[in-house]
A and B are shown apart, each in its own frame.
Chain A
Amino acid sequence: MSKYYLNYLDELESEAIYVLREVWAQFQNPVILFSGGKDSIVVTHLAKKAFFPSKIPFALMHVDTGHNFPETIKFRDDLIKSLGVRLIVGSVQESIDTGRVAEEKGKNATRNALQITTLLDAIESNKVDCAIGGGRRDEEKARAKERFFSHRDDFGQWDPKNQRPELWNLFNGKHFEGEHFRAFPISNWTEMDVWNYIKRENIEIPSLYFAHEREVVWRNDSWIPNSEFLQLDEREKIETKKIRFRTLGDITITGGIESDADTLEKIAQEVAAMRQTERGNRSDDKRSETAMEDRKKQGYF
Chain B
Amino acid sequence: MLDNNQLLRFTTAGSVDDGKSTLIGRLLYDSKSIFEDQLEAIENTSKQKGHEGVDLALFTDGLRDEREQGITIDVAYRYFTTPKRKFIIADTPGHIQYTRNMVTGASTANAAIILVDARHGVIEQTKRHAFIASLLQIPHIIVCINKMDLVDFKEEAYNKVIGQFEEFSSKLLVKDVRFIPISALLGDNVVNRSENMGWYQGAPLLHTLETMHISSDINKVDARFPVQTVLRPQSEEYRDYRGYAGRVASGVFRKGDEVTILPSGFTSKIKSIDTNDGELEEAFAPMSVSITLEDDIDISRGDMIARSNNKPEPSQDVEAMLCWLHNDSAKPRAKYTIRHTSNEQKAMIKEVIYKIDINTLNRKPEDVEMGMNDICKVKIRTTKPLLVDSYRENRTTGSFILVDENTNETVAAGMIV
Q: Which A residues fall within an 8 A CB radius of B?
A: 1-2, 4-15, 17-18, 21-22, 24-25, 48-55, 137-138, 141-142, 144-145, 160-161, 163-170, 172, 174-176, 187-188, 190, 192-193, 196, 274-277, 280, 289-290, 293-294
B59 to chain A, nearest CB (A): 9
Nearest neighbor of A136 in chain B, beta-carbon distance: B79
| Residues in A whose Cβ lies below 8 Å from that of B275 | 49, 52
**What is the interface of chain B mostly: helix, strand, loop, or mixed?**
mixed
Q: Determine whether the beta carbon of B63 is less than 8 Å from that of A21.
A: no
Q: Determine whether the beta carbon of A25 is less than 8 Å from that of B342.
A: yes
Q: Determine whether the beta carbon of A21 is less than 8 Å from that of B36.
A: no
Complex interface residues of chain B between 35 and 88 (CB less than 8 A to chain A): 35-38, 41, 45, 61-65, 67, 73-79, 81, 85-86, 88
Q: Determine whether the beta carbon of B408 is less than 8 Å from that of A176.
A: yes
Complex interface residues of chain B between 20 and 45 (CB less than 8 A to chain A): 35-38, 41, 45
Q: A50-B245, A174-B408, A277-B35 are in contact. Are A55 and B401 (CB under 8 A)?
A: no
Q: Determine whether the beta carbon of B5 is less than 8 Å from that of A7.
A: yes
Knowing that A2-B220, A18-B288 touch, tell me 15 more A-B residue pairs with CB under 8 angstroms.
A6-B6, A7-B7, A18-B286, A25-B301, A55-B233, A144-B78, A145-B62, A161-B65, A163-B74, A166-B104, A168-B108, A170-B399, A170-B400, A174-B337, A176-B408
| Residues in A whose Cβ lies below 8 Å from that of B399 | 167-168, 170
Q: A145-B75, A168-B108 are in contact. Are A50 and B288 (CB under 8 A)?
A: yes
- B333 interface residue per 8 A CB criterion: no
Q: A196-B1, A293-B63 are in contact. Are A11 and B81 (CB under 8 A)?
A: no
Q: Determine whether the beta carbon of B88 is less than 8 Å from that of A167.
A: no
Q: Determine whether the beta carbon of B276 is less than 8 Å from that of A49.
A: yes
Q: Determine whether the beta carbon of B79 is less than 8 Å from that of A15.
A: no
- B168 interface residue per 8 A CB criterion: no
| Residues in B whose Cβ lies below 8 Å from that of A290 | 63-64, 67
15 pairs across A/B with beta carbons < 8 Å? A6-B7, A6-B286, A7-B6, A8-B6, A15-B288, A25-B229, A25-B342, A52-B231, A53-B238, A53-B241, A144-B77, A164-B409, A165-B104, A165-B410, A290-B63
Q: Determine whether the beta carbon of B231 is less than 8 Å from that of A54.
A: yes
Q: Determine whether the beta carbon of A172 is less than 8 Å from that of B286.
A: no
B236 to chain A, nearest CB (A): 11
Query: Which 6 pairs of residues, A with B, have the shortest CB-CB distance?
Result: A52-B276, A17-B288, A174-B408, A49-B276, A8-B7, A167-B107
Nearest neighbor of B65 in chain A, beta-carbon distance: A161
